[in-house]
């Protein structure tokens, strides 16, 4: 004889209430009104971005990539627009010691074909020395172009951890937009998908239903040990590194100093 689970003992903590489909559709329709307003506000903000003034700078400034030093202008690859991710870097650190947040961002845009189809090029910039950056890029399997901007002045060099947009008019180059922090979430479809799920990101700052556990620190799942357990300890790597050839267990983050 098959018994029916007792809902009072099998319910997951803080899970949504169970209702009939008609009730669900009614509440879903109410939320949709708010979602549409959110979308329209996002459209209005994007329109305001397109009207921001620009900053002109010298596009002849050299950056270092797989083919050696090249002018920044070459990163446009003949297109008029360019999006870059400015990747933080720990000097002298092994692969597992590099920035996990920047790893998250760069990993999510491994193919820029749809940007290219719209006339937009993409590149990753970092202040790391090219002799350190090159083996990291090979280890991660990144296919998008990377460049060292060490000692290059802003807006090409300088502070990292930003998404920045540039415009080209012939040989003239302009900075049009830049964002950081949660503004970088546009890079990661993972965030948007997790925000659709009933348990969300599992982070303590989220507004969760009564009965839900308090959650973890932000980005708690970005690093894990060899067994897949989330941890930011010395035996961890950024999560996607464990799929890479040669990703062996580690015993130190290997960080030797601040971001450069």
**Does pLDDT of 2 surpass 80?**
no
Residue 146: exposed, middle, or buried by beta-carbon count in 10 A (0-12, 13-18, 19+)?
buried
Residue ranges making up the domain that contains 155: 55-188
| Residue 221: inside a domain | no
Q: What is the pLDDT of residues 53-111, one digit of tens each?
A: 999 999 999 999 999 999 999 999 999 999 999 999 999 999 999 999 999 999 999 89
The CB density around residue 45, as the number of other CB atoms within 10 Å, is 9
Asked if 211 contacts 16 with a C-beta cutoff of 8 angstroms, the reply is no
Assigned token pair, 121? 């090029």
| Residue 137: inside a domain | yes
| Residue 21: inside a domain | no
| Residue 13: inside a domain | no
Q: What is the pLDDT of residues 102-151, one digit of tens each?
A: 999 999 998 999 999 999 999 999 999 999 999 999 999 999 999 999 99
| Residue 95: inside a domain | yes
Q: What is the pLDDT of residue 9?
A: 46
Q: How far is CA 78 from CA 23, 110, 116, 144, in A?
A: 54, 20, 11, 16
Q: What is the pLDDT of residue 10?
A: 55
Quote the CA–CA distance of 205 and 99 in Å, as a whole number.
22
| 3-state DSSP assignment of residue 135 | helix
| Residue 112: inside a domain | yes
Q: What is the CA radius of gyration of the chain?
A: 22
| 3-state DSSP assignment of residue 178 | strand
| Residue 209: inside a domain | no
CATH at 95? 3.40.30.10
- Percent over 90 (pLDDT), the chain: 86
| Residue 159: inside a domain | yes
**Does pLDDT of 30 surpass 90?**
yes
Q: How many domains does the chain have?
A: 1
Residue labelled with tokens 């973890």: 216
């Amino acid at each position: 004889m098959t018994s029916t689970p007792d809902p009072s003992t099998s319910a997951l903590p803080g899970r949504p209430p169970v209702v009939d489909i008609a009730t669900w559709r009614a509440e879903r329709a109410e939320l949709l009104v708010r979602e549409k307003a959110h979308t329209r506000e996002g459209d209005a903000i994007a329109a305001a971005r397109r009207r921001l003034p620009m900053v002109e700078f010298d596009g002849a400034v050299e950056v270092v990539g797989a083919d050696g030093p090249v002018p920044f202008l070459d990163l446009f690859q003949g297109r008029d627009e360019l999006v870059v991710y400015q990747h933080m870097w720990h000097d002298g650190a092994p692969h597992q010691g590099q920035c996990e947040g920047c790893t998250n961002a760069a990993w999510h845009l491994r193919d820029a074909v749809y940007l290219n189809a719209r006339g937009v090029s993409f590149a990753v910039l970092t202040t790391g020395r090219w002799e350190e950056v090159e083996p990291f890029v090979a280890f991660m399997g990144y296919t998008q172009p990377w460049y060292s901007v060490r000692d290059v002045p802003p807006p090409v060099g300088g502070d990292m951890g930003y998404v920045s947009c540039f415009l080209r008019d012939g040989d003239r180059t302009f900075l049009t937009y830049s964002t950081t922090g949660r503004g970088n979430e546009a890079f990661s479809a993972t965030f948007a998908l997790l925000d659709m799920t009933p348990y969300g990101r599992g982070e303590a700052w989220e507004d969760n239903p009564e009965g839900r556990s308090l959650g973890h620190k932000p980005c708690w799942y970005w690093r894990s040990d060899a067994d897949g357990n989330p941890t930011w300890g010395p035996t961890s790597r950024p999560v996607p590194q464990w799929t890479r050839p040669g990703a062996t267990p580690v015993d130190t983050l290997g960080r030797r100093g601040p971001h450069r």
